[in-house]
Amino acid sequence: MPAKEPLFIDFLLVGGGLASATAAETLRAAGAEGSIAILCAENTLPYYRPPLSKEFLVKGPDQTKILIHDDSFYQDRDIEIHLGSRVHRVDVDSRTIETDGGDHFSFGKLLIATGASVHRLSVPGADLEGIHYLRTVDDALALYQAIAHAQRAIVIGASFLGMEIAASLVTRGVATTLRVA
């Protein structure tokens, strides 16, 4: 069976965050013609990450606005959103991208705006239940739900994010220790 022809996208934006959403919005506002698509590894429209460590953990998902734009914003501007599309391979020579799901795209212009990844602990016990990381909406939801049953917590790392998470835990009534890594 022959390989399926890649879908051509004039402006292909990889990453489901503020950079891709802003780039798509700016392209259309500047009069860019042609197709625009955003590949989001997560199953959530592009969203703001900063509220995840503050409002989201304190007020919960139903009380926190994280989406940069709703679905109609993208539809009205003819911007395709491909949720659950984690890029597996980029071939700059052939100007193609393959996702983990087997979708293939070719592109005119490419923006890679995937952000950073979480540094996971590599110590004995790092895979025990009750250890959480915060990077995605799913991570924030799991942590929000776990806080409801927690009496004590340790936050490892006194970065800006670590401090915000510790403050959110304290606000929710959890006795919290902040440990400098």
- pLDDT tens-digit profile of 33-85? 999 999 999 999 999 999 999 999 999 999 999 999 999 999 999 999 999 99
Examine the domain organization and report whether 126 and 102 are in the same domain: no
> What is the reported pLDDT for 2?
53
- Identify whether 37 is part of a domain: yes
Summarize pLDDT for 143-158 with one digit per residue, the tens: 999 999 999 999 998 8
Examine the domain organization and report whether 102 and 158 are in the same domain: no
Instruction: Dihedral sign for Cα 169, 43, 40, 61, please.
Output: negative
CA distance 34 to 30: 12
Examine the domain organization and report whether 37 and 105 are in the same domain: yes
> What is the reported pLDDT for 167?
97
DSSP string, 31-63: T--S-EEEE-SSSS-SB-SGGGGTHHHHH-GGG
Summarize pLDDT for 89-145 with one digit per residue, the tens: 999 999 999 999 999 999 999 999 999 888 888 999 989 999 999 999 999 999 999
Examine the domain organization and report whether 15 and 91 are in the same domain: yes
